[in-house]
Amino acid sequence: MARPNSARMRAIKRALADRDGAGCFYCGHPFATLLGATVDHLIPQSVLPGWALMNLVLACRPCNEAKADQLPQVFLRAAGCAPLPRRPHPFVTTIAALAARLARVELRHQVTTTVVTAGR
């Protein structure tokens, strides 16, 4: 992806700040400038690969590093935090619901393959 302060990353940060506000999505810490903001994948890339804006949020470095490769619900619950009292973007809600549903389906329906070899 783009370097932390490249023109592309600055454009992504501006778009996210316009959509969600210029503060950490998790703890609400306001950013004086977007240089201090990091971009976090709301649904981790291991679950939902890509850089679609609907899956990105601004986060302060401590929250981004603490969340790591977790779903936001798991991270906030482990941190003893409740989500901020604001309505999430409809795309974020949809993506989170789909990821949770996919995780449940994947656990229930693990595919096993049997290799059959023909003997001579």
- What's the pTM? 0.62
Residues 2-47 have pLDDT tens digits of 666 688 999 999 999 999 999 999 888 999 999 989 999 988 988 8
Cβ(43)–Cβ(96) below 8 Å: yes
End-to-end alpha carbon distance in the chain: 52
Q: Which residue has the tokens 């798991």?
A: 74
The token pair at 38 is 């990091």
Residues 71-119 have pLDDT tens digits of 887 777 766 665 555 566 666 667 777 777 776 665 555 555 555 566 5
